[in-house]
Amino acid sequence: MKYIINRSDIVYNIEAVKKEVGTAKIIGVVKGNGYGFGRDFMAKLLAENGIEMFAVTEVEDAEALSADILKGKDILLLRSTAVPEELARIADIGAIATIGSQDAALAYNAYLEAKGIIGRAHLKIDTGMGRYGLMPGEIDEMCYILETCKCIRFEGIYTHFAAAFTDVNRTEEQLDTFLDVVNKLKERGFTFEMAHAANSSAAFNVPASRLDAVRIGSAFTGRILGANAKKLKRVGYMQVQVIDMTTFPKGWKVGYNGTYTTKKPTKIAVVPVGHTDGWGMAPRFEHFSLGDALIGGYRNVKEYLAKDYLKVEIGGKKYTAIGQIGLSHTAVDVTGSDVKPGDAVKLDFSPLYVNPLIQREYID
């Protein structure tokens, strides 16, 4: 079992992103083990292809990358933290902190002041994501932070969209709210070198959101929603083998809880992949609701309604997985085919859900 990743397809997507976003700076996001492709692999490949600024969510990732592959590169921590120990580690490697609360700002400034150094940071505004960040109405609190935290150099300001993959109107509303905050701070005398808001979906679907920079992760994998997804190549698939065959009579229940009953004599290929590998764990079609599935077109909606959404490819043909997916096995209906044990099976699912222990094989 291995997960196949084509380098040249990722490079194609990098160039497609550059073309799409124009003059906006690209921040290469390599969180989540490089979106499942491998943190170090993705960081190195992006750097080799002209990406100069990066972002992660975990301090451990920033430490490892800054010490080796991305030494000397700008690395932004994409989460606010008020934990002094984490802030100290961010400062000590020269990474860029996210400040999303007064507590985070004061704790970071206290450490920097004690060390006699200046730390870098971006101010985070919560315009509707509902996670962390200063609220749009807290202009006075923002100004207090910017005025009093003398040891923090606020190089940037940003927000994060809640539904850029499905809801353009909501994204535009969040963008307007963010720009209003930026303008109000400017009126109070505070400006930033970089304002950024767009993730991959927003960068492709809402051009006005690109601003000074865009944060790109999933677009490098070719897995975004919307009409512009066709500008990218979908990267990554699992490869396993058929390990055994069974033929069930009509009326036979398949899998845990007997949720599927054969309607006729049915030939089954047993495939050694399941939930422990990440198969069947992703949202259907990588959408988030039935409404989102509409973006995928009529065929996807039809399959969604039929709960007929897990497919595998054997010998260039698509076959349907039936019954509940097990921890390490899947039953595939191959009735009427010449599928046999040992045949290669290709499964297309997001690298984000692939077990990190599964071997990644990089091809050109």
Instruction: Read off the pLDDT of residues 290-337 as tens digits, 9 standing for 90 and up.
Output: 344 444 444 444 444 444 469 999 999 999 999 999 999 999 999 999
Rounded to two decimals, what is the model's pTM?
0.89
Task: Put residue 301 in one of left, alpha, beta given phi > 0 → left and psi -120 to 50 → alpha.
Answer: alpha
Chain region(s) in the chain for CATH 3.20.20.10 = 7-222
Stretch (H or E) spanning 74: strand 74-80
User: Is pLDDT at 284 greater than 90 in this prediction?
Assistant: no
Q: Which CATH class is domain 7-222?
A: alpha beta
Instruction: Read off the pLDDT of residues 63-85 as tens digits, 9 standing for 90 and up.
Output: 999 999 999 999 999 999 999 99
Residue 29 or residue 229, greater confidence: 29
Stretch (H or E) spanning 3: strand 2-6
Fold of the domain spanning 237-347? Lyase, Ornithine Decarboxylase; Chain A, domain 1 (2.40.37)
Cα separation, 246 vs 16, in Å, equals 45
Instruction: Read off the pLDDT of residues 213-268 as tens digits, 9 standing for 90 and up.
Output: 999 999 999 999 887 889 999 999 999 999 999 999 999 999 999 999 999 999 99
Chain region(s) in the chain for CATH 2.40.37.10 = 237-347
Cα separation, 131 vs 151, in Å, equals 26
CA angle at residue 21 from 18 to 22, to 5 degrees?
80
Provide the mean pLDDT of the chain: 92
Cα separation, 135 vs 155, in Å, equals 19
**Contact of 218 with 201, CB cutoff 8 Å:** yes
Half-sphere exposure of 210 (CA within 13 A, CB side): 16
Stretch (H or E) spanning 174: helix 168-187
Return the axis-axis angle of helices 39-48 and 7-21, rounded to nearest 10°: 60
Residue 218 CA from chain centroid, whole number = 5
**Contact of 69 with 91, CB cutoff 8 Å:** no
CA angle at residue 205 from 180 to 44, to 5 degrees?
100
Tokens of 279: 């198969």
Task: Name the 3-class secondary structure at 242.
Answer: coil
Beta bridge partners of 50: none
**Contact of 184 with 139, CB cutoff 8 Å:** yes
Residue 210 has what DSSP assignment?
-
